A and B are shown apart, each in its own frame.
Chain A
Amino acid sequence: MTSAMAPTLAHTSVKPFYFNTSAHLVRITRQKASALAEFLDALRECPESSIFQHSFRTLQEHHFIREGFSNDFAHWALSACNEPSLAEGLASVDVREFTSVAELRERFVQIVQTFLQRNPTAGARTAKETFYFCASDTVVIPTSFVANTLHEFAEGLRRVSVHSIHHHFIEARLRLKLMSNDFSQWLYEDMGLTEAARQLNRLDIYTVTLDDVRAQIIRIVERALI
């Protein structure tokens, strides 16, 4: 890709951006729940990779859905427990507000706990389907795309898989421990494009598909090229 684009001084980075991607294998854990009280216990005890799987990862697995799918917990609360208010609460959790899985778990626990305090009879009611807690085993792999310029960056965004977009744009905050993402960090730190970096962080990932998110990122980057 580097050879295809002539770097311009204004849009040349100090450090290249290496596009990576992550591949995930789903492991079935020992935790499962047939009622909300059991679900709360399992939510507290399950490995962090389970919380990651049912929130960050499920968003990736269902990246093509525009409406009505936020995370597996919310989906189960609605479809198996018939508890729409709990489902709405769980669905409102935006994974991008969290830089650690521990904080994210705490938020889910708090929502379920509060719901069960207000609705004590709901805890023992048997769900229509069991919730099986799964976990994600992750392998990070490189891609062939490297960007030294903004042109190359836009081209890379067009050509990598949606898994790579998810890896850099959504999962990255857990790695960076910042309320940001790899793309914004590179645009800000290495390209000096503060406004573009800020705009990327404001994109809504829950009402569009991941391909729509990709298109929006490309539009912001292309505007920065002008």
Chain B
Amino acid sequence: MEPVESQTEREAPARESQTDFGSVSSPAPPPQQERRKKPRTWEIPPAPVPAPRLDDYKGIVGAADIDELKFLASELAGKTLKMVNSTAVGGGVAEMLNQLIPLLNELEVKTHWDVITGGNDFFEVTKAFHNALQGSDYHLSPQARDVFLMHNELNRQRMQFTEDVVVIHDPQPAALIRAREQSPQRWIWRCHIDLSNPNPEVWGFLRPFIEQYDAAIFSTQSFSRQLQIPQYLFYPCIDPLSEKNKDLDDSFVQQVCDEFGVDRSRPIVTQVSRFDRAKDPVGVIQAFKQARRYVDCQLVMAGGGATDDPEGAAVLKEVNEAAGDDRDIIILDLPPWCALQINALQRASTIIVQKSIREGFGLTVTEALWKGKPTIAGAVGGIPNQIIHKLTGALVHSVEGCAYQIRYLLTHPDFARRLGQNGHEHVKENFLMTTNVRRWLLLCRILLASGTN
């Protein structure tokens, strides 16, 4: 594989004039290089790394925690589990299942994974359902219902459901519940999306299916609905051994910074996210510029989605315009397989920002906290579950609030370090893959032990 130049290369612009900073003088920054080095990314995705084994996590969570998983699983010996979702590759659900299923199988809870099939008409309908359930306007036509039900029925006929526990992920395959036959079998609906404000027509159509399940799972309390069945809280999680989160040699971190033109001798403020207005990238630049009136720092905006998404390209253009000729703002539009580079940039950062104004759970926040970084994030979606203000990070509601927290954390390193340490422990306790395995084992044990459907 040859490294190639990414689209992030920019000509070295002139430094922003100090007179733009208003009446407060800025500390003198160190001399700039003549020209920023050309950032490089890999042309094609690297080969996948083998899935970690359970014992690989002992060094992270401790042997006692792994032993507890084995004890929990021992009660489920011989039981079988099926996971069903709508895609085998791409997206957070498939990524999570790829990590979770080998660990469940290693614990001898035999777990199968089936992916539903459907034509373009089906996936157009389910995409519309997905958006409508998260609050978009939508009129549910009889044709859309028929397409949804027909493809669920075709999948029901094609698939076998002989396992002790069947887990259906998200709305697309929700009507497979009609395959339920064996009375001791348990069916679980795992909802990965925000149902706090669903389109009433779509939710009214899906709800009768959902209430036939034995339990539903949501990613945060605020994403749930009032249902007649038990609802459980499963936070999304990260894998500490994945490319995106594993420990890295400092030499690699330095190499990535050199390639991307990031100066590690000065404070680095980073936001990692798609170029999406919900992540308020322009607001991040504004906050950075306000903060830099008081403290020397650089801003790294690392993301993707600008090449295959017209809206992403438009947002990237806005971001470049907002950055202007500022050499301290480094904008990186990276392909999706740059997990190691993202990891390195996060590890090189002094502070990580996720100034979202709408958010799902916000796993980039989890990643930042795991790396022990003082993190500033918008108080939306699942972020308040992760950031307890002033204890595990800083929650903000505005550009000004974000600017203030950048200044404060850069000038109070002991406090910032404590936030980072607490954030790391918070993730270790609540948002790691091993905790996710524990939750699945517990839920299976609880449901299989319950006497009625």
Contacts and interface: CB of A to CB of B under 8 A. Distances in A.
A161 B62 contact: yes
B68 A143 contact: yes
A23 B67 CA distance: 12
B314 interface: no
Contacts of B47: none
Contacts of B72: 23, 139, 141
Given A62-B426, A64-B426, A25 B442 contact: yes
A15 B49 CA distance: 49
A159 interface: yes
B403 to A, nearest CB: 21
B266 interface: no
A17 B64 CA distance: 17
Interface string A119-139: 000000000011010100101
Given A25-B439, A139-B445, A134 B68 contact: no
Contacts of B421: 64
A75 B230 CA distance: 26
Interface string A191-211: 000000000000000000000
Nearest to A25: B442
Interface residues of B, number: 35
Contacts of B243: none
B218 interface: yes
Contact of B71 (A62, A63, A134, A141): A141
Interface string B33-71: 000000000000000000000000000001111011001
B233 A134 contact: yes
Nearest to B389: A79
Interface in A133-185: 134, 137, 139, 141-144, 159-161, 163-164
Secondary structure type dominating chain A contacts: strand
A21 B391 contact: no
B389 A142 contact: no
Contacts of A24: 442
Contact of A132 (B221, B232, B439, B443): B221
A27 B230 contact: yes
A196 to B, nearest CB: 23
A134 B422 contact: no
Nearest to B441: A23
B419 to A, nearest CB: 11
Interface string B218-259: 100110101000111100000000000000000000000000
Interface in B136-191: none
26 contacts: A23-B68, A25-B232, A25-B443, A25-B446, A26-B233, A27-B231, A27-B233, A28-B221, A28-B233, A62-B388, A62-B429, A64-B426, A65-B391, A65-B422, A65-B425, A69-B391, A129-B384, A132-B221, A132-B224, A141-B72, A142-B71, A143-B67, A144-B67, A159-B63, A160-B64, A161-B68
